[in-house]
Amino acid sequence: AQSVAQPEDQVNVAEGNPLTVKCTYSVSGNPYLFWYVQYPNRGLQFLLKYITGDNLVKGSYGFEAEFNKSQTSFHLKKPSALVSDSALYFCAVRDLPGGSYIPTFGRGTSLIVHP
Amino acid sequence: NAGVTQTPKFQVLKTGQSMTLQCAQDMNHEYMSWYRQDPGMGLRLIHYSVGAGITDQGEVPNGYNVSRSTTEDFPLRLLSAAPSQTSVYFCASRQGSTGELFFGEGSRLTVL
């Protein structure tokens, strides 16, 4: 079985400060991990993914995420937050190989960046 | 390249009415899916398809039907709308087993 948790419903950060949005997962095999962002009244947009290889993954808009197998985490980070980063962020996981064809999404974390 | 296109963007129905939410993608993706998004509930999978002629149920399939006659189209049908189906609906597609999902812009449905 696969599952994902986003322990924070909301994260507040000041513009210019580093930000972290947390994600932990549970899988039987090896995880495929994804981050998506949703701006108000829009569909979800892909930010980055981890399949295999380097544990630090770089994605769109200056975001990056670190895969930590021992802590089963895949936290989303950005060195310097922008007001325009304010949005809803979703972590998703698939259990591969041979696992589910369907990703499991977290409940989402609302990121608010204050000017 | 249009990506995933959903219509309509907004719809108001009365209880008991039927309607179809349309989803089309022009990326030749085999996998397509429908989600509903409700406050505090995240995304919940309704139905999905791994190719033309193949569909399966997700987490919350009751009250919804789907079909997949072509690779491009994956319509979602509400046969008898209920207020509990008031939600925002998203269609998403993916190429291959490791790819990310491409989402449409959503269809906001209100059932009175």
Listed by number, the residues of chain A in 86-105 with a beta carbon closer than 8 Å to a beta carbon of chain B are 90, 92, 96, 101-103, 105
Distance separating alpha carbons of residues A99 and A107, to the nearest angstrom: 21
Taking an 8 Å cut-off on Cβ atoms, the answer to whether B103 and A90 are in contact is: no
The structure tokens listed for A84 are 């325009």
Distance separating alpha carbons of residues B112 and B104, to the nearest angstrom: 25
Identify the pLDDT of residue A62: 96
A53 touches chain B (CB under 8 A): no
The pLDDT tens digits of the residues spanning A61-77 come to: 999 999 999 999 999 99
Identify the pLDDT of residue A97: 65
pLDDT band at residue B35, thresholds of 50, 70 and 90?
very high
Q: Pick from A14, A25, A30: which is nearest to A74 by CA?
A: A25
The pLDDT tens digits of the residues spanning B78-96 come to: 999 999 999 999 999 998 8
- With tokens 């449409």, the residue in question is B104
Identify the pLDDT of residue B1: 65
pLDDT band at residue A53, thresholds of 50, 70 and 90?
confident
**Among the ranges given (A101-105, B58-62, B106-110), the one the predictor scored with the smallest mean pLDDT:** A101-105
Residues 6+ apart with CB under 8 A from B16: B80, B81
Q: Pick from A26, A37, A30: which is nearest to A87 by CA?
A: A37
Taking an 8 Å cut-off on Cβ atoms, the answer to whether A105 and B98 are in contact is: no
Please state the rounded mean pLDDT for residues B65-75: 97
Q: What is the mean pLDDT of chain A?
A: 93
More confident residue, A2 or B103: B103
Residue B23: CB atoms within 10 Å: 25
